[in-house]
C-alpha cells in the first residue's frame, strides 16, 4: 500500500500532522489532502484573512492587498523550498 505524502506547511517543517487533519482543522476541501494544492488553498485562505485584518487595522484595501501579497509570496517561496528539499516537486 502506498503511503500518503503530507504536503501541509506544518508537516514540511517536521511537525507531526497529517494532511487530512490539517485540512479539517482549517476547513480546506478534503480532496486537497496529500496534494501540493493543499498549500495553495491555505495560502489563499491566509491571504483573505490577512487582507481583512489589515483593513480592520486601518490600512486601505490596496495597502492591505499589497502587504498580504508580499506575505503570501514569501510563504509560497518558503514552501516551494521545503518541498524541493524533500524531493517532492512535480
48 belongs to a structural domain: yes
The string of pLDDT tens digits covering residues 12-47 is 999 999 999 999 999 999 999 999 999 999 999 999
pLDDT above 70: residue 90: no
The string of pLDDT tens digits covering residues 62-73 is 999 999 999 999
51 belongs to a structural domain: yes
Q: Which residues span the domain enclosing 46? A: 9-85
**Euclidean distance between CA atoms 55 and 62, whole angstroms:** 9
**Euclidean distance between CA atoms 78 and 72, whole angstroms:** 10
- What number is the average pLDDT over the span 59-85? 97
1 belongs to a structural domain: no
Residues 6+ apart with CB under 8 A from 81: none
DSSP at 57: T
42 belongs to a structural domain: yes
pLDDT above 80: residue 1: no
Decide if 32 contacts 38 (C-beta within 8 A): yes
Amino acid at each position: 500500500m502506498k503511503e500518503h505524502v503530507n504536503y501541509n506547511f506544518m508537516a514540511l517543517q517536521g511537525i507531526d500532522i497529517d494532511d487530512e487533519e490539517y485540512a479539517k482543522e482549517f476547513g480546506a476541501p478534503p480532496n486537497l489532502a496529500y496534494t501540493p494544492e493543499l498549500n495553495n488553498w491555505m495560502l489563499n485562505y491566509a491571504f483573505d484573512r490577512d487582507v481583512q485584518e489589515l483593513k480592520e487595522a486601518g490600512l486601505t484595501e490596496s495597502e492591505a492587498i499589497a502587504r498580504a501579497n508580499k506575505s503570501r509570496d514569501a510563504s509560497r517561496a518558503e514552501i516551494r523550498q521545503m518541498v524541493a528539499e524533500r524531493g517532492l516537486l512535480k
